[in-house]
Amino acid sequence: MGWAALRLYTLAVYGFMFLPVAVVVLLSFNASQFGSFPMTGFSARWFVELAQNDAILRAFRTSLILGALTALISTTLGVLAALALVRYRVPGETYISTLLIAPILVPEVVLAVALLLFLNFLEVNKSFTLLLLGHVIFTLPFVILVVQARLVAIRRDVEEAAMSLGASPVQTFFQITLPLMLPAVLAGALFAFTISFDDITGTLFWKPGGVETVPTQIFSMLRNSISPEINALGTVMIVMTVGLPLLGLALARALATRSGG
Amino acid sequence: MSVEAREARQPWILLSPALTAVALLLFVPLLFIVVYSFWLSSATGADVVAFSMQNWREALTDAFYRDILLNTLKIAAITTVVCAAMGYPAAYFIARSKGNKPLLLLLLILPFWISYIIRTMSWINILGTSGALNSLLVGIGLLSEPVQMLYNETTVILGLVHFLLPFMVLNVFVSLEGIDRTLEDAATSLGATRWQAFTQVTLPLSLPGLAAGSLLCFVLGAGTYITPMILGGPRDAMFANLVYEAIITQLNWPLGSALSLMLLVVLGALVAIYNRYLGMSQLMKGLG
């Protein structure tokens, strides 16, 4: 009896989680020109309008470039650090780990203010550079945590075998370690991209006037009223941020099975 | 250089880019705003380098800031309790489920990937005057005309719960998964009821996860300014909104620095207390 009640409760929690999102997707296909109920018919016109909206397309381009560069830098820094933490005995390791995840222990709004004021002092004004640096520092801890968790699972003896068979450390890294690490690296990069793509708290502080990312674009559109276009944009965002990681997950799994990991 | 010395240097070479980034982009900027908080704001042009207590006096003694700080902590606390009440049973169900666990797990992680701003604004579709709930209630005749259910403290809390619940569920789930299930069986075979076995064995063992989830919900909840801007009314500003106002709208950066540091100290104290008693490893487990 208790179990059935618990199942029902959990179902309700999932409903709470997903129902509002489902409504966004549903309304994005509403033919009505108001972004609300009642549904007056099924139409894809808002997606067409979306594709013709210059401001939104610009925001998409900014977000994609920003996310890709963030992922590239953050993953490079994060993978190196994770390697050091997993593969070596480093004195004061717990302190170093805590230092490295500090950017997510500090409230993001405080990080945003500190970085904005400091870089402004260094004459780096609100700019794409500031935005990029902000996103890198904010995503770095996540990359380190994700990569670290997966690196632990890679067995050291495969590398030792390669070395004992005459491979140099550099050869071993590129031919053994890196391919084995690839799923972890991809997972880290994807994570960094998704977090960057979704960020608004820091972005609103760092972005220069006139530059919008997708979330800040949605935010400024919300100031008027909720339009069907926002719901359509939301649907695209959901497909991107949910679809991409799922794809990545599948890819990582495929790679992992092929390399026998 | 000896082989040992090279071995000992290698991890530092690997760590240095990340450590440098954290130092230059987090710690130095934080120290910088400590200094900045003593400067004086200037209505025209650059802020004046000074050693003035004015901003701190304003931030610490003005009842306006104090009330909003207390209200922010209250909202974060309610959010955390609601997240625990909703998230714990759900996490328990998933951890003990014999059904399709990978699917349940995926559903658990999925909300993390759905955009925060989309999830927040989705409530306008539900609770707005022409939203789903109003349409439904008017449609079945319970309301004669739509009422405004949005833009109050309750909807802010609702939005925060919706945003933070996955953090709670995931942390509790991770700690429940780590508990040896035979312990519960042992308790029941020794005469405990299943409820007793839960409250006296499983629940205490899962407290670290509950604590980690609660910390995340509280700290993230108390640091937000987007949710109140979208789902709150003019009087539902949280402390981070004051920071945003000072920095972005009023361009009073010295005051904004002082307010940021206040928020950092209050929330940092919580993290420090948590770290002192439970350590960071549980938190990292839930995040990784």
Angle at B285 between CA A248 and CA B287, to 5 degrees: 50
Sign of the torsion formed by the C-alpha atoms of B84, B85, B88 and B94: negative
- Averaged pLDDT for residues A174-195: 88
CB count within 10 Å of CB B189 equals 10
Which residues are paired to A42 by β-bridges? A30
Averaged pLDDT, A194-207? 95
The whole-angstrom separation of Cα A7 and Cα B72 is: 33
Co-location of A23 and A114 in the same domain: no
Is residue A206 included in any domain, yes or no?
Answer: yes
For testing contact with chain B, the best of A1, A11, A17 (most B CBs within 10 A): A17
- Both A161 and A36 in a single domain? no
pLDDT of residue B149: 92
pLDDT range class, residue A35, cuts 50, 70, 90: low
Residues of chain B contacting A133 with CB distance shorter than 8 Å: 25
Nearest residue, CB atoms, A241 vs list B27, B113, B223: B113
Task: Give the Cα separation of A24 and B122 in Å (integer).
Answer: 6
Residue to test with chain A: of B6, B10, B26, most A Cβ within 10 A: B26
Cα–Cα distance for residue pair A129/B55, rounded to 1 Å:
30
Number of neighbouring beta carbons within 10 Å of residue A170: 8
| Residue length of chain B | 288
Reading the block at residue B113, the tokens are: 């990937």
Establish whether the linkage from the previous residue to A38 is cis, with ω within 30° of 0: yes
CA-CA distance, B66 to B106, in Å (whole number)?
41
CA–CA separation, A41 vs A129, rounded Å?
A: 45
Per-chain mean pLDDT for chain B: 91
Residue in this structure with the two tokens 């993230």, named with its chain if needed = B220
Res. A229: pLDDT tops 50: yes
Residue that is written with structure tokens 């710690």 in the block: B27
Do A24 and A93 sit in the same domain of this protein? Answer: no
Cross-chain residue pair A84–B121, CB shorter than 8 Å:
no
Q: What does the mean pLDDT of chain A come to?
A: 88
Whether residues A152 and A200 share a domain: the answer is yes
- Range(s) of the domain holding residue A203: 54-258
The verdict on A120 and A220 lying in the same domain is: yes
Q: Indicate if A89 and A172 belong to the same structural domain.
A: yes
Q: What 3-state DSSP class applies to A113?
A: helix
Alpha-carbon B211 to chain mean position: 13
Facing A145 at nearest CB: one of B10, B89, B288: B288
Q: Is residue A89 part of a domain?
A: yes
A40, A31 contact by CB (below 8 A): yes
| A249/A142 same-domain check | yes
Residues A143 and A189 placed together within one structural domain of the fold: yes
Between the two ends of chain B, the Cα-to-Cα distance in Å is 37
Q: Where are the beta strands (DSSP E) in A85-144?
A: none
**A14 lies in the same domain as A80:** no
Of B264, B72, B23, B215, the closest CA to residue A106 belongs to: B264
Instruction: Give which of A113, A90, A140, A193 is closest to B23, Cα–Cα.
Output: A140
CB contact under 8 A, B288 and A148: yes
CB B159 within 8 A of CB B120: yes
Going from the C-alpha of B20 to that of each of A108, A112, A114, A145, B116, the distances in angstroms are 19, 18, 16, 18, 30
Complex confidence, ipTM: 0.92
* DSSP three-state, residue B218: helix
- B contacts of A36 (beta carbons < 8 Å): 125, 128, 130-131, 135
- Residue at A238 is within a domain: yes
Instruction: Give the closest-approach CA distance of B146 to chain A in angstroms.
Output: 12
Closest of A73, A66, A23, A31 to residue A217, by C-alpha = A66
Between A35 and B251, residue with greater pLDDT? B251
Are residues A178 and A102 located together in one domain of the fold? yes
Of A20, A119, A241, the CB nearest to B123: A20
Contact B76, B218 (CB under 8 A): yes
Instruction: Compute the count of residue pairs across chains A and B with CB atoms less than 8 Å apart.
Output: 243
Residue type for B100, please? N
The pLDDT value recorded for residue B157 is 98
Contact present, B175 and B209 (Cβ < 8 Å): yes
pLDDT at A140: 97
Q: Report the percentage of chain B scoring pLDDT > 90.
A: 64
CATH number of the domain at A170, please: 1.10.3720.10
Interface touch A17/B166, C-beta < 8 Å: yes
Long-range CB contact pairs, B241-248, < 8 A, 24+: B241/B68, B242/B65, B242/B68, B243/A109, B243/A110, B243/A113, B244/A109, B244/A204, B244/A205, B247/A113, B247/A116, B247/A205, B248/A204, B248/A205
Report the candidate in A23, A62, A61, A10 with the shortest Cα–Cα distance to residue B90: A10
Containing H/E element for B54? helix B54-61
* Window A:99-128, CB contacts with B under 8 Å: 99-111, 113-119, 121
Question: What total number of domains does chain A contain?
Answer: 2
Summarised one tens digit per residue, pLDDT across range A137-155 is 999 999 999 898 888 877 7
B58 and B257 Cβ atoms separated by less than 8 Å: no
Of the candidates A17, A205, A245, the beta carbon closest to that of B247 is on A205
Domains along chain B with CATH numbers: 56-287 (1.10.3720.10)
Helix, strand, coil fractions of chain B, as percent rounded to 5 = 75, 0, 25
Subunit contact A97:B135, Cβ cutoff 8 A: no
Question: In this complex, do A219 and B223 lie within 8 Å of one another by their Cβ atoms?
Answer: no
What residues in B contact A23, CB-CB < 8 Å? 122, 125-126, 132
Q: Which residues of A touch B119 (CB under 8 A)?
A: 20-21
Instruction: Give the span between the Cα atoms of A29 and A38, in whole angstroms.
Output: 12
Q: Which residue in B17, B87, B107 is closest to A77 by CB distance?
A: B17
Are A242 and B110 in contact (CB < 8 Å)?
Answer: yes
Handedness of CA B173, A193, A79, A142 (dihedral sign): negative
Looking at residue B99, its amino acid is G
Which stretches of chain B drop beneath a pLDDT of 50? 288
Cα–Cα distance, B91 to B206 (Å, whole number): 11
Q: For chain A, what's the residue count?
A: 261
Instruction: Inform me whether the pLDDT recorded for A261 exceeds 50.
Output: no
Question: Using the 8-state DSSP alphabet, how is residue B49 labeled?
Answer: P
| Shortest alpha-carbon distance between residue B62 and chain A (Å) | 20
Query: How would you write A146-208 as a 3-class SS string?
Result: HHHHHHCCCCHHHHHHHHHCCCCHHHHHHHHHHHHHHHHHHHHHHHHHHHHHHCCCCHHHHCC
Q: Are residues A23 and A137 in the same domain?
A: no
DSSP, residue by residue, B202-220: IHHHHHHHHHHHHHHHHHH
Claim to verify: residue A101 and residue A174 sit in the same structural domain:
yes
